[in-house]
Structure 1
Amino acid sequence: MNVKLLMGATALVGVLAANPSIALAQTQTDGGAQKSAPTDDEDSTTPKEIVVTGSRIARPNNSSIVPITSISGDQFFQQGRNNIGDILNDLPQLRSTFAQQNPGLGVGIAGLNLLDLRSLGTVRTLVLVNGRRHVPSDILNNASSVDINTIPNDLIDRVDLITGGNSAVYGSDAIAGVVNFVLKKDYSGVQVRANAGISGAGFGANQYASILAGHNFAEGKGNITVHAEYARQERVFGSDIPWYQSADGFGVVDIDPSGLKNGSDGYPDRVYLQDIRSTTINRYGLVPINQPSANPLCGTGIASTNGAPSTVGGVPYSCTYIFGADGRLTPQTGTRYSSGPNSGILGGNGQTGREDKLLSVYPYQQRYNFNLLGHYEFAPALEAFVEAKYVRIDTLGSNAGPSFSQGTYSQFDYRERTRLDNPFLNAADRTTIANAILAAGCNTSLTVTCDSARSFSTSANGVAGGKLNAADIAAISNGSYRFVDARQFADSGIRDEAFRRETFRIVGGLRGTFNDDWNYEISGNYGKFTQRTTTYGYVDKQRFLLSYDAGRNPVTGQIQCRAQFDSAAALPYPNTTTNVARLASDIAACVPYNPFGAADNSAASKYFSYNAVDHARITQFDVSGFISGNTGKFFRLPGGPIQFSLGGEYRSEKALYVQDPFASDPAGYTNA
């Protein structure tokens, strides 16, 4: 079991003094354009709205000492989108580092919306709610960033973005700046909103509904506001998007030798190509037949040249065969390009990697958000306030695709390659593969060229590639030869992550104004975040190899896992005490896997797949207070009174991550 516990506590005390300064604030107009706020001379009659983001010194919005961009909550409302994080990430100040549009940037982050000011990293962007810290939600990223999905959409009054460093005020996590979500304070009335949408091509359906109700009482001294929202977005795969089904991009068409002036021979090394297919893997299976330089049947790759692209001295392309959904073998078609042995290929019958559910573009997400805001003013110098929230977010998504095997021995032994006498292989296709290997005189491989000397992997106890020898030819004759079948195990499901993230937060405190222009606030803030993660589509290494190595029992004639009738195949992997101890039971329960086509492998997949469950939590306790004002009543300098702010903060944060005990052991568990 892998358990990680992180604890931290911070105590800050600060004093700030300043004279009136030049206006640097920015406001966001209803049209979306940004402009500098007017100076005092330009508009002396405009009411002075107080802005506290970035400083505890109360200032009108036209005299902030740091650049602020403010976006009103109405702008989020008018756009009608479900996720405010996606809206904010469209701003030039923010980089879309971890967002709904980027679901595949790492393990454990699908569904998170984290803000990254000026591309300095989410850990350097501080997110506040009403000027106070919020419990983080990114346990597997840096355990310090707030998931913007937990912010209630319709309760936002405005969002202030400070793009100037504010580490002096808030600490090192505000080096890039601060994003402060200011919630509605005195809402009165009832608002019900709902919307639904779907793309014109029929993908990406989403729904949103919210209710907001507030009431002022005691002649405006108090207010209570409640809010609830529900949001849902459907999963989107690459195959759902018509214009994304073709894999287009830059491909290598020229290779320059080293040492050239300006590093180039004047010919473009890469050009933009359309409909790129794979020659190294297929969800139904792909067999590479390496070719000798003397007689390459599928062409020769480009070589390094100081001049126009040339194949002189290049490595021959492997001839590739692919299995169809019916399990039958056919030569791969298309136009090959680039270097050998594994070429690029345009068009034809290979796969793009965007078929079916191979590529996840947008995760599924369902969100429930409940909030309570309240305050009551006993006197101008004494106002009590409270904030409480509960958020539950269920997310399913990842961009890892299915587990796969390419016969490279990077994580398995020799059983990763398929025997010629595998009973699931059609007899005619068995003959085609055997004859093609014998004609080429080369072992199948994605990593070793045909002209290389025969290579043997001692760690995997299997032939890696190179020229055939007598033993290889004999193995082809008796059916024991093992060839590369590069396959994605899409029939076992994609490597997905299901998250249940829950956030609870409560804030309470006192604030007030006295001495005309002095104000203070003291507050306590407790938040707790929990996460339960279930990972799907990963495999138990030992069980996978037992299942993948299928054969026909010579006594019963039945197709079984080879280890069930051949003791030589009854091998633990890796050879650990734990795996040796469970080997007999694993063999007894083994279900053979058919590695050709789209056969029903549900029983075998259930046998060797492992769904890991991890648990995590983050807690935050924060107590802060400040008093600010100016000395206008008793002391003035030639430039005016001294403004000041005196504050202190104590913060304690704890993070705990408990990984599934089997998944934490790389010897038995694989995410390939």
Structure 2
Amino acid sequence: MTLTNKVRTRLFKKSSLTIALSSAILAGFSFQGVAAEDDEITKIERVQVTGSRIRSAEAMSSAPIQVVDSAAIDASGSLNIQNLLLDNPAFGSPAISRTNSNFNTASAGVATVDLRNLGSERTLVLVNGRRYVSGLPGSSAVDLNTIPSQFIERVEIMTGGASSVYGSDAVAGVVNFVLKDDFEGIEFEGQFGESKEGDDQSRQFSFTSGLTSSDGKGHAMFHLGYSDQGAVYSRDRDRSAVDQFSQIFFEDDPAANPNAIFDTVRPFFSSFPPQGRFDAGDTRFTFDQDNNLQNSFSTNGGDGVAANGFNRSGVRTIAIPTERYLFASNGSYELNDKHSFFYEGTYASSTTRSELEPFPFASDDIYANGRVPIEFEVNGELLRSAFVPDDIYNAATDTDGDGSRDIFFAKRLSDIGNRGARAERDTFRIALGFQGEINDNWFYDTYYVYGKTKESQVSGGLVNVQSFRRGLEAVNDRFDLDGDGITNEAICIDATARGFNCAPVNIFGFNSLSQSAIDFVSAPSSLSTSVEQEIIGGNISGDLFELPAGTVGIAAGFEYREEFSRSEFDALQQAGLNAGNAIPATEGSFDVTEYYIETNIPVLESVTMNAAVRLSDYSTVGSTESWNVGLDWEVTDSLRLRATRARSTRAPNIDELFSPPSQTFPSGLNDPCLGITSSGGGTSGDSCRADVGVASNIATNGAFTLNQSDLQGISGFNRGNTDLKEEVGNSVTVGVVFTPENLISGLDITLDYFDIEIDDAIVSTPRQFILEQCYGGGDDSFCNFITRRGAPSGNNSAGSLEFIDSGVSNSGGLGTEGVDLTLTYATNIGPGAFKTRLAYTYLIDGYSIPLPGADKDVFAGEVGASEHKANWNLGYKINDFDFNWSMTFTGNADFDDQFLSGLGIPAGSVGVGSVTYHDVQASYHISDSMELYAGANNLFDKEPPRIVSGISGSDTGTETDAGTYDPIGQTVYIGFRSKF
């Protein structure tokens, strides 16, 4: 628990430094703590701060802690707390948000956080100091959609390892949401907003009330909230309205001048058109807008041929519409003067809707050899396909030697409709417990926590591949096979399929599928998930004994936790028979028993040491150990030094352990064989030419060549690993706190250095790394994970990449190093009060190591992990008027060095520039009980950097990194708050 109320207060004689720092930690963005005079007698509660379970009167921490209070949340206008947290430079780009998850098979619209760019699985999210149930099956990532922003008192952010205090997953740090618990009365809030373009329409309403029992022993709070955020579509932003792709050319000979320029090919329409594209013999056919057959096809136009391709961006989504209903309540009841009962309850229901282009369907999705027969033997005769046009039939040949003509086709299934999913998620969590005093100096708390997240998802736009094949194999019923007396109708050849209402499928032309065919082949996909968490724990803390410099404080406790997760698609999706990814069911569980002890030791009057150790026993990985040691030195009244050394552990999650092979379609990959000719290319060239398909491609084209379907046709399988063990993080933080009260009253400055290194990191081996190792001479055993096409298949070239598989292992390393600077200042200026806060992070280093002994893959300075990030807030209050201005700066960033190296481009030579966003809000208190406010986010409508499809870091449909930059543009809002 953190910052508990109703604890026994004592009188302490403290210096001005201690009081000022305590106020700064507890006040966060408010900056209203003022120093008391030296030697003043001050009433201070024993409290806990994030990172320690020892109740102390000083609220000090040897680890850096940043605080976001409710005033900052109100001033942001954020409907989701994720949006506000991402302004803090300590956070990296989230793995999942409303603007970067439209193409996720599951989890679209979920909101997660990632400290230090080390992954959301290494950031532990707490509510009131206790774990919160995951919002994603198989992982520990919490969906921040389930935490009501208006019910948050403050957010405490501790960076650096904290596993010794809180257990697994706190390798990068802890984000602790402290909920309001002392509110009385009634508060209403309503807010409306939309973007400059008229979309992203949002509205929220909330009701909060608090009451106290007549005897004063009981208190309870209730919160009801509703929010609705509308969609933003790719077609409604100029940068993303048209399908495009990035290509590279060099200013000169790349060997002499490696300066590369990325150029955008726009349009870069898909080669899967709604009207169909057909290869018969040596001729390629399609249909024009009037459904007239033509024997030419061009995705983007040229050589006198009209563009026939499909603009996928016309139906893609930038921001997923999200609707939420939230209920939260907490309360306590005093059983007597020393003991009380408490509870916390949360229920969240959210609905998200993703939407993307219709499915690209092709011959090789149905037939192993990619050849579609257009002649069928019936009663000893060859009958032609019911719908095949004469020109295509006459041009077709028997390419597979089975005696009948065949063709290849590729068709966008627009008749079936856009793909997309409607996901309904429900999260329920309750915590019950007792807390109180054993005596004047010893305190306890015990608790039971149960949480469950359920998801039900239905996806559209997919087809049953087997049904589609049966419907495609149709002829005109000259023999009256179905016995209905009609001999000029199209029927399915397979009698069993006819018994299940098989409808003939016509793939030729726009709107070619009949409604009966659509009904027969449509196969909506369903997903059902469940995550359960159950925790029993207890803590005791108090004063152990006196030393000359002060009292030794101690805390000890235990926790037993069970986690269960299940994720199951429908049978067709699991088998990959609905034209989508093959995703098997995943189910697993584990339990862990943990014990910890923590102590604060006053070494000298001005020096305090704290230490903690935690022993854990997992049902999966066995015993683990975490610890930390910290020092806090009050050098003078104005200067304090602090340092922490910690070892944290993270046990593998359920997906990492138990996930069966799950299909994915990776993007942003560079084939090292591209451009290789019949000679040269060194080791890479030799390795490429050794592949039969690549050699065939070179013989045909003179150099290894890929087409658009090849670039978009790479698949692969991800696998879990039951042999995983825990990963270990070692972190060091060293900092200085400067509060020159005698020089500049109201000024607080902190400067902290951090260094986190993770050994035996649980990682999925990057696919680009696999390619480089196989064809770059590093380790040819990685070639076992790669499958190339031996011959042309459907629309794909010989030798093109078909599958690149990857699995998780303890083979990696992760690290990050940098400096945090925070500055807060509050003073009176003129007739009003001024406050400001600057948070700046300089990322010195950040890297991953795919395998032991491999070179570091540096991500510091790349897109999503800029070296320089900052947030500067300014506020001014005069009478009933409040004004807040926030500036968020993201520095220059390079494109991923592995991506560039695959193109022969030096790392750091190509990237994007810096971006600054401005957010403002003004509010006016009409009366003591009514406040009106209005604001604008991205005030100057700053466009995000163009990171076009085909460049690593681009989120499909947004043409930027939508987790790092704002893909929506200027939004404005207006709202009211009413308190009684």
CA-CA distance at 1:56 after TM superposition: 0.1
Encode CA deviations 1:48-105: one digit per residue, 9 max, x unaligned: 6734321101246762121111111232223223222233234322221111122146
Q: Distance in 2 between matches of 1:81 and 1:422?
A: 58
Cα distance change of structure 1 residues 26 and 45 upon mapping to structure 2, 3 Å threshold: same
Residue 386 in structure 1 maps to residue 347 in structure 2: no
The residue aligned with 1:313 is none
The Cα offsets for residues 233-286 of structure 1, whole Å up to 9 and x where unpaired, read as 233332233442034552144699xxx9xx845265552225231363223333
How many Å separate the matches in 2 of 1:183 and 1:515? 27
User: How has the CA–CA distance of structure 1 residues 491 and 255 changed in structure 2, closer, same or farther, with 3 Å as cutoff?
Assistant: farther
Q: In structure 2, how many angstroms separate the alpha carbons of the residues matched to 1:281 and 1:494?
A: 14
Q: Does 1:650 align with 2:560?
A: yes
Which residues in structure 2 correspond to 1:162-311 (within 5 Å)? 162-218=158-214, 221-253=217-249, 264-266=255-257, 270-278=261-269, 280-287=271-278
Partner of 2:139: 143
**Residue aligning to 1:527:** 451
Q: Which amino acid letter does the alignment assign opposite residue 349 of structure 2? A: R
Which of 329, 345, 360 is equivalent to 2:317?
360
Per the normalisation by structure 2, the TM-score is 0.50
Q: Which residue of 2 aligns with 1:663?
A: 573
Unpaired runs of at least 5, structure 1: 1-19, 292-318, 338-342, 438-442, 444-453, 463-470, 565-569, 572-581
> Of 474, 485, 498, which residue of structure 1 is paired with 2:422?
498
The aligned counterpart of 1:327 is: 291
Q: State the Cα deviation string for residues 382-412 of structure 1 (Å, max 9, x = none).
A: 121111222222222265x432224446865
Q: Which amino acid aligns with 1:154?
A: Q
CA distance in 1 between counterparts of 2:64 and 2:139 reads 28
* Aligned equivalent of 2:542, options 629, 637, 646: 629
State the 1:41 CA deviation. Answer: 10
Per-residue displacement from partner, 1:214-233 (whole Å, max 9, x unpaired)?
A: 12345754321111111222
- Aligned runs of 1:100-115 on 2, under 5 Å? 100-104=98-102, 106-115=104-113
The answer to whether 1:594 aligns with 2:592 is: no
Match of 1:75 among 72, 96, 99: 72
Structure 2: which amino acid aligns with 1:585?
Answer: G
Contact 2:247 2:264 in 1 (8 A): yes
Compared CA separation, residues 132 and 272, structure 1 to 2 (3 A): same
Cα distance change, pair 233–381 in 1 and its aligned pair in 2 (3 A)? same
Q: Deviations along 1:426-465, whole A, 9 cap, x unmatched?
A: 66xx37x978x9xxxxx9xxxxxxxxxx9x67xxx88xxx
Which SS does the other structure have where 1:116 is aligned? coil
Distance 2:444 2:434 in 1: 8
Matches of 1:45 and 1:282, distance apart in 2: 79
Q: 1:481, CA displacement in angstroms?
A: 4.5
Please point out which of 305, 328, 332 is paired with 1:371.
Answer: 328
1:524–1:412: structure 2 CA closer, same or farther, 3 Å change rule?
Answer: same
What amino acid maps onto 1:328 in structure 2? N
Q: Which moved more, 1:92-101 or 1:417-426?
A: 417-426
Give the letter aligned to residue 369 of structure 1.
L
Q: Quick one: structure 1 residues 175 and 590, their matched pair in 2 at CA, closer, same or farther if it must change by over 3 Å?
A: same
Instruction: Pick the aligned partner of 1:585 from 499, 509, 520.
Output: 499
Q: Which residue of 2 aligns with 1:578?
A: none
Q: Distance in 2 between the 1:29 and 1:243 partners?
A: 42
1:598 is paired with a residue of what secondary structure?
coil
> Cα distance 1:333–1:654, how it changes in 2: closer, same or farther (>3 A)?
closer
Q: Is the 8 A contact 2:110 2:145 kept in 1?
A: yes
Post-superposition offset of 1:609: 1.7
Structure 1 partner of 2:358? 402
| Corresponding residue SS for 2:84 | helix
Deviates more, 1:44-53 or 1:146-155: 44-53
Q: Distance in 1 between matches of 2:236 and 2:182?
A: 44
Give distance in 1, aligned partners of 2:306 and 2:44: 64
Larger relative strand fraction: 2
Verify the 8 A CA contact 1:370 1:390 in the aligned structure 2: yes
> What is residue 560 of structure 1 aligned with on the other side?
490
The amino acid of 1:373's aligned partner reads N
Query: Which residue is equivalent to 1:579?
Result: none
SS in 2 for 1:663: helix
Tell me the equivalent position of 2:10. none
C-alpha contact 2:385 2:474 (8 A) present in aligned 1: yes
Say if 1:485 and 1:657 are closer, same or farther in 2 by CA, change over 3 A.
closer
Q: Look up the SS of the partner of 2:348 in the other structure.
A: strand
**Following the alignment from structure 1 to structure 2, what is the Cα–Cα distance between the partners of residues 60 and 423?**
85
The corresponding residue for 2:464 is 540
Post-superposition offset of 1:589: 2.1
Indicate the SS of the match to 1:173.
Answer: coil
The share of aligned pairs that are identical, in percent, is 26
Change (3 A) 1:290 1:184: farther
Cα offset, 1:621, TM superposition:
1.5
CA, structure 1 residues 157+416, in 2 after alignment: closer, same or farther (shift >3 Å)? farther
Deviations along 1:317-372, whole A, 9 cap, x unmatched?
xx9765445433565568789xxxxx9x99956434212x2x23232322111122
User: Partners in 1 of 2:305 and 2:181 — Cα distance?
Assistant: 59
* 2:575 partner amino acid: D
More moved, 98-107 vs 169-178? 98-107
Q: Deviations over 1:181-220 (max 9, x none)?
A: 1000110111111222222222222221111111234575
> SS of the residue aligned with 2:452?
strand
**Counterpart-to-counterpart distance in 1, 2:306 and 2:446:** 66
Q: Which amino acid aligns with 1:227?
A: H
CA contact (8 A) 1:539 1:669 kept: yes
C-alpha distance in structure 2 between counterparts of 1:270 and 1:417, whole Å: 45
Q: Secondary structure at the match of 2:506?
A: coil
CA contact (8 A) 2:285 2:297 kept: yes
Give the superposed CA RMSD.
Answer: 4.2
Once the two structures are TM-superposed, the CA of residue 584 in structure 1 deviates from its matched residue by 5.4
Asked if the contact 1:418–1:485 (Cα under 8 Å) also holds between the matched residues in 2, the reply is no
| Equivalent of residue 613 in structure 1, options 502, 523, 526 | 526
Letter in 2 for 1:88: L
- Give the 3-state SS of the residue equivalent to 1:607 in structure 2: helix
Q: Which runs of 5+ in 2 are unaligned?
A: 1-14, 376-382, 480-485, 582-980
- Cα shift readout 1:293-316 (whole Å, capped 9, x = no counterpart): xxxxxxxxxxxxxxxxxxxxxxxx
Shift of 1:507: 1.2
Indicate conservation of the 8 Å contact 2:200/2:230, yes or no: yes
Give distance in 1, aligned partners of 2:22 and 2:489. 76
| Distance of aligned partners of 1:61 and 1:118 in 2 relative to their CA distance in 1, 3 Å threshold | farther
Checking the alignment, whether the CA contact within 8 Å between 1:535 and 1:611 is kept in structure 2 is: yes
Instruction: Identify which of structures 1 and 2 has the higher relative contact order when contacts are C-alpha pairs closer than 8 Å and 6+ apart.
Output: 1
- 1:56 has 2:53 as partner: yes
The question of whether the paired residues in 2 share the 8 Å contact of 1:26 and 1:69 is answered with no
